[in-house]
Amino acid sequence: MVLTDTADKIKSMEIRGAGRIARAAAIALAEHAESLDLTDITIFSGEMKRAADLMAGTRPTAVSLPNAVNIVMASIAQATTVPGAKMAIGSKAREFVQSSNQAVERIGKIGARHIRDGDVILTHCNSEAALACLIEAKRSGRDFSVFATEVRPRNQGLLTIRVLNEAGIKTRFIVDSAVRSFINDIDLVITGADAVTVNGAVVNKIGTSQVALAAHEARTNFVVAAETYKFAPRTILGELIEIEERPAGEVLPDDIAKSLPYVTVRNPVFDVTPAEYVDLIITETGAIPPQMAYIIIRDYLGWDISEFGKEFDIDHHD
């Protein structure tokens, strides 16, 4: 079954990356809707709500996931028939995937303009959006090189160096803890994001905030490549982004852990980089300072401070 299959693949990180999981969830919901042999719109909507909750609950941190699920699910709110709902959800999911791919491409074009000949760029983890900037810069003839981190414990850096190698970009592969040793050789840091909060803080792969701290100390520009659907609307309501903590076995093999009864492992897989360490967020609508996060949430995701009123039952008087 597509729905549970996709959910399992997202949980196990066979499908990973904030943009990829969002697109996979959108498609899985559309295929699930198509597969339902139901005629009653209320029962159909209830089943789709269950499916949406399942998809949104697979991983807690990347906001692209619930944003994609909400965008797709909003398409059936007004549907009065099952065929109508199936059509609406299918076209919304395809539209989301297409606009997501276009967003990454556009970010690449904007981000590439920040890369100059001779630059040394550092990237952390494996971000399609960040890589799009590097690949586009290479495609447009820019001569630069990259430092890529290993990204313990899941080693997403291996994915990154393969992509960079394929693009013919000269790359040095380093362990995560070597970042500060090389930071003075770096002209620009580019990472992706799993979520951007209303105050411009960036939630990304564990280690990103240490990279940002080192960059800040060295006065090295730190740029984040993030599509608008990675901005977190509910942070307006004071909701915090949950940081996923994955199994201990990803860090320390179970047999070793068993032999060390006084040792426990902590494995948070994301961290928060405060806005003051972020110079620019490159979105598909343009490069913005992190302090403009609210504008993105309001103008591109359709969320306003007035959502407060709805959620907390406060009357707004003009």
Residues with a catalytic annotation lie at 125, 194
Least Cα distance to 148 among 180, 121, 128 occurs for: 121
Cis peptide bond upstream of 66, omega within 30: no
Which region among 49-57, 168-176, 190-198, 260-268 touches ligand RI2 (by CB under 6 A)?
190-198
d(Cα 39, Cα 146) in Å, to the nearest integer?
55
Residues 141-180 that bind ligand RI2 (CB under 6 A): 156
**Edge-to-edge strands of the sheet including 280-283?**
170-174, 145-149, 120-123, 188-191, 221-225, 280-283, 286-288
Residues 5-24 that bind ligand RI2 (CB under 6 A): 16-19
Within its chain, how far is the Cα of 300 from the centroid? 16
Least distance in Å: CB of 252 to ligand RI2?
A: 19
Which region among 187-195, 232-240, 275-283, 301-309 touches ligand RI2 (by CB under 6 A)?
187-195
Closer residue to ligand RI2, CB minimum distance, 19 or 66:
19
User: For residue 79, how many other CB atoms are within 10 A of its CB?
Assistant: 18
Among 58, 75, 127, 149, binds ligand RI2 (CB under 6 A): 127
Closer residue to ligand RI2, CB minimum distance, 125 or 212:
125
Among 30, 129, 189, 288, binds ligand RI2 (CB under 6 A): 129
d(Cα 100, Cα 20) in Å, to the nearest integer?
9
Least distance in Å: CB of 172 to ligand RI2?
A: 19
Regarding 212 and contact with ligand RI2 (CB under 6 A), the answer is: no
Residue 206 tokens, joined: 């564990």
Least distance in Å: CB of 260 to ligand RI2?
A: 26
Least distance in Å: CB of 210 to ligand RI2?
A: 14
DSSP, residue by residue, 250-300: GTS-HHHHHT-TT-----B-EEEE-GGG--EEEETTEEE-GGGHHHHHHHT
Closer residue to ligand RI2, CB minimum distance, 51 or 68:
68
Regarding 205 and contact with ligand RI2 (CB under 6 A), the answer is: yes
d(Cα 74, Cα 292) in Å, to the nearest integer?
26
Check if the beta carbon of residue 133 is closer than 8 Å to that of residue 107: yes
The C-alpha torsion from 14 through 242 and 19 to 298, rounded to 10°, is: 170
Side chain identity at residue 42, one-letter code = T
Determine the Cα angle at 283 with ends 299 and 31, to 5°: 80
Least distance in Å: CB of 306 to ligand RI2?
A: 29
Contact mark string toward ligand RI2, 256..295, x via CB under 6 A: -------------x--------------------------
Among 96, 108, 128, 190, binds ligand RI2 (CB under 6 A): 128
Which region among 114-122, 125-133, 231-239, 277-285 touches ligand RI2 (by CB under 6 A)?
125-133
Check if the beta carbon of residue 212 is closer than 8 Å to that of residue 177: no
Least distance in Å: CB of 212 to ligand RI2?
A: 13
Closer residue to ligand RI2, CB minimum distance, 69 or 125:
125
Regarding 125 and contact with ligand RI2 (CB under 6 A), the answer is: yes
The phi and psi torsions of 221 (rounded to 5 degrees) equal: -65, 140
Least distance in Å: CB of 67 to ligand RI2?
A: 12
Residues 54-93 that bind ligand RI2 (CB under 6 A): none
Contacts with ligand RI2 by CB under 6 A lie at 16-19, 125, 127-129, 156, 191-192, 194, 204-205, 269
